[in-house]
Structure 1
């Protein structure tokens, strides 16, 4: 089944079902020999983020269970983050290079790409073997799979959801305002994390009113991509400034690359704030009230007969 709650199940059952599905998919991706190890790392980290978004939706109803669940998946994802970040750096540079060919020779751009690939290899060599780390995570996930059966909620129905939904959205509005007032890398990254959570929550609740929530999901997806691309460029820029020259290339290519990065980031941030002002226009209270009414209609007998 998909990453969304179903009308024919209780919220507690749906939360456990979705968590189990994500765990089993993560294990399957680790065991999938057709996936490169870098792709497997990327997929597994996505599963962990979706599980964290899932439990955040019902955080108040989970009570004391929430913290250890969240910490486990956060820390497991961090074990893979350095390897994934090095790959993201290459992908980010390659996309930037498409617009840099007018100011930097193709041979120079290819040289920088090759050095970033070498850098990733050095990081992998200095770290625990990727395969071993993935195998250990797969074993641990099998244990976590059993733990999901013990998850219990203090509430059910929309009451189990309202607190987590509103709290996450409220934090998203606050971090949007903070990022607009002071668009530092830290503030933009924090806003991006809150956007991700609301995107996950919108996907989980999509069945409540598919025609309406589909548009919201698409906009949150777009916003997440805009902020993700901006964050990747920020990390690339920082790496260029702090890495030894031999890691990136001749110092002469850095200024034009920095100019392109700043230009691209400015455009991404402008688009992100435009979308963000719309999706965070409602207060958390109003959004929760709307979804609560839609939820009641969704599960009513009349709605079931339509």
Structure 2
């Protein structure tokens, strides 16, 4: 039914958590747009011709409503699909943080930091639920991409043994998970109430352009860096910069849809490659922890080699994509967006 595995039809105007204003031709429910099959709902982008502060407040409000909806309906989702609810909530929280970064110079610094930390901490509450189950998908993909018969067999064996060591989703006690998600939902309601009333009077187009230029500059410096000391945390932080640019452009997409869609896609592909690399680092730790259950040391070595090979390939792809996406200098990228915005507003 619809897009939700727990049975709620997102195309029905009574979908909980959003304003009931009917459904538009693009599949909008209330203030949110429905993405394609398998994708996540997203707040409707700002209208370039309307007041910037009002529009970005609405975007943050509607993203937080998606978080609240995901958390409050979590227990009703099919058990094997609950990860989708967690993914939806965490992605909406990241979009809120990206908007906060855009409006930073137009807000009181202490209030801005408080909102940013609240959104971050709610995401962190939900993080372990996402990380715990990520190995299932990772091992399946690693087995598919593994080079050579012996490495495929080694990864397949690891898949069987590691999954056998974890409680099956259908019989796992989910009450602790539900308590964590319910608490995150309550924290999201508190954050939503704050966003509704926070002073955004100084947020205007120039403020948003300043935030965009600042984010572009930070991302460009990282992807064009010649720093040789690149450990797992370095790549993880680099990925966050790509994600933040991608999500910051989402609410601005109506300013110049074709070009900004291309930029969003480039940052998404960059973040996906580095995200898979980070997940493989998590899988590496899981293999290390369970090495004694995998038997033959040669099998463990083949798994490690396959993970290392795949991580190196993903790092190269991610950095190359980010370098190309951020080829333009920050001032020029800002001037281009400013020109498009002025034209769209007219």
Q: TM-score, normalised by structure 2?
A: 0.77
SS at match of 1:79: helix
Q: Which residue of 1 aligns with 2:17?
A: none
Q: For each residue in 1:229-266, what CA deviation from the matched residue of structure 2 results, as whole angstroms up to 9, or x when unmatched?
A: 1111122223323x143466653322111221222222
1:292 & 1:47 partners in 2: Cα distance?
26
- Give the superposition deviation at 1:153: 2.4
Equivalent position to 2:87, from 30, 34, 42 = 42
Instruction: Between 154-163 and 54-63, report the one with greater CA deviation.
Output: 154-163
Which residue of 2 is the match for residue 6 of structure 1?
Answer: 47
Rounded Cα–Cα distance in structure 1 between residues aligned with 2:292 and 2:119: 36
Q: Residue 91 in 1 paired to residue 137 in 2?
A: yes
Instruction: Name which of structure 1's ranges 212-221 and 112-121 shifts more when overlaid on structure 2.
Output: 112-121
Shift of 1:121: 4.3
- Which residue of structure 1 aligns with residue 260 of structure 2? 213
- How many pairs align? 297
Q: Which residue of the partner structure matches residue 298 of structure 2?
A: 252
1 or 2 for the larger relative contact order (CA 8 Å, sep ≥6)?
Answer: 1
Aligned to 2:340: 294
Distance 1:66 1:139 in 2: 20
Q: 1:151 and 1:286 mapped to 2: Cα distance?
A: 32
* Moved segments of 4+, more than 6 Å: 125-128
Which one has a larger percent helix, Structure 1 or Structure 2? 1
Q: 1:105 to 1:198 in 2, by over 3 A?
A: closer
> Could you tell me how far apart the structure 2 residues matched to 1:179 and 1:200 are?
26
Structure 1 unmatched runs, 5+: 301-306
CA positional deviation for 1:207: 0.9
Q: 1:59 to 1:112 in 2, by over 3 A?
A: same
In the other structure, the counterpart of 1:19 is 60
Structure 2: tracts of 5 or more residues without a match = 1-31, 34-42
| Larger CA deviation: 35-44 vs 129-138 | 35-44
> What's the CA shift for 1:183?
3.2
Closer/same/farther in 2, CA of residues 173 and 253 from structure 1, 3 Å limit: same
Q: Which residue of 2 aligns with 1:176?
A: 223
1:72 aligns with 2:99: no
Change (3 A) 1:133 1:78: same
